[in-house]
Chain A
Amino acid sequence: DAGVTQSPTHLIKTRGQHVTLRCSPISGHKSVSWYQQVLGQGPQFIFQYYEKEERGRGNFPDRFSARQFPNYSSELNVNALLLGDSALYLCASSRTGGNSPLHFGNGTRLTVT
């Protein structure tokens, strides 16, 4: 089975622009979570979706939004990009949320200039 896939792998944007990151979960997984990882730090939780409903939200501004589609894939949108948004954005899927382990993709490296 294919793992979690994310696109694009790398992205360069300018301050003030908008970005959309995409994630396809492992087949059969209904929960998708998004994390932001700044260099040298552990991943920070942004959102979790389960069965297309937002189940949890981390401490991120409203510029960050996400959604999950009927096929369980997901998008993370970030508006009005700031230099501080430069990071590795990780998507993880799990069967049900709950205590199901997270399976991560290799992320999208976003650079804001």
Chain B
Amino acid sequence: LAKTTQPISMDSYEGQEVNITCSHNNIATNDYITWYQQFPSQGPRFIIQGYKTKVTNEVASLFIPADRKSSTLSLPRVSLSDTAVYYCLVGDNSQGNLIFGKGTKLSVKP
């Protein structure tokens, strides 16, 4: 099971771009990389998923280098409402073995 390592916390200011990097050195061939956002007392919310190179949707971009041993979630122009915990997951959910780490607590300041 691929283990992930993320920074415990990050601070940013409104309007800035935030990049959160996740390390996953033992990622397996079938594993996808998925990021979730969680607010207090709510369930995690799916942000973005990718396998390799770059994926972009309406809220974020995900950059994955060729060796896939790390990935970077990019949040453009963050706002106060982006203050949350962000989790990087690596795995194949076919056997329910997705492991959440402690996540990265992002604090956006005015």
Q: State yes or no: do A and B come from one complex.
A: yes
Which residues of A come within 8 Å of B, CB atoms? 4, 31, 33, 35, 40-45, 47-48, 55-58, 88, 90, 92, 94, 97-107, 109
B96, A104: Cβ atoms closer than 8 Å: no
Interface range on chain B (Cβ under 8 Å from partner): 20 to 34
B95, A48: Cβ atoms closer than 8 Å: yes
Which residues of B come within 8 Å of A, CB atoms? 32, 34, 36, 41-46, 49, 87, 92-103
**Given known contacts A42-B102, A44-B100, is B93 in contact with A100 (CB within 8 Å)?**
yes
Q: Is the interface of B mostly helix, strand, loop or mixed?
A: loop
B96, A101: Cβ atoms closer than 8 Å: no
B42, A106: Cβ atoms closer than 8 Å: yes
B96, A106: Cβ atoms closer than 8 Å: no
A101, B103: Cβ atoms closer than 8 Å: no
Task: Report the Cα distance A100→B95, complex, angstroms.
Answer: 12
- When distances are taken between beta carbons in the complex, the residues of chain B under 8 Å from A102 are 34, 36, 44, 46, 93, 98
A55, B95: Cβ atoms closer than 8 Å: yes
How far does the Cβ of B24 sit from chain A's closest Cβ, in whole Å? 15
Task: Report the Cα distance A100→B46, complex, angstroms.
Answer: 11
Q: List 20 A-B contacts (CB under 8 A).
A: A33-B98, A35-B100, A42-B100, A42-B103, A45-B96, A45-B97, A48-B96, A55-B94, A55-B95, A55-B96, A56-B97, A58-B96, A99-B32, A99-B49, A99-B94, A101-B46, A101-B49, A102-B36, A105-B43, A107-B43
